[in-house]
Amino acid sequence: MSEYKYKCIMLIDDSDIDNMVNKHILSRNSVAENILVFTSANDALVYIEKNKANSDPNTFPSVILLDINMPIMNGFGFLLEFEKSNKELLDTIKVVMLTSSVDPNDIRKSKEFKTVKSFISKPLSLEHLESI
């Protein structure tokens, strides 16, 4: 059995294709044993809220890969809500922006959030995995 870097990672992206590809890359390269996939930022927030008291490392993410451009609630809306409602998790969960955006304003804005550790432009690559 291979050794995984993380027990659980969460993907938040409204694109099913991107989620499928990213999940495959993460699994194939033993980055995460469990990969939670959400196409809605709001659904991801609900999952975190429901499970944070238990926060079992097998089912609770230590890393979130977050897209910016999504309908209803975008990545920045997710970050605002997540950091406001989950102050006790800010040091235990790291967020990696994984987005097709190359807008310098998005990069700058992502740095304003405590939980955002890096900004990666899609597609996810083997080189990117080292920074996660």
The CATH architecture assigned to 6-129 reads 3-Layer(aba) Sandwich (3.40)
* pLDDT of amino acid 2: 55
- pLDDT value at residue 78: 98
Domains of the chain by residue range: 6-129
Residues 6+ apart with CB under 8 A from 117: 94, 95, 96
Mind listing the pLDDT tens digit for each residue in 14-25?
Answer: 999 999 999 999
Model confidence band, residue 119 (pLDDT cutoffs 50, 70, 90): very high
Give the percent of the chain with pLDDT over 70.
98
Phi, psi of 11, rounded to the nearest 5 degrees: -105, 130
Q: Which pTM was predicted?
A: 0.94
Q: 21-48, pLDDT tens digit by residue?
A: 999 999 999 999 999 999 999 999 999 9
What CA–CA distance (Å, rounded) separates 33 from 27?
7
Task: Give me the pLDDT at residue 15, please.
Answer: 97
| Residue 85, amino acid | S
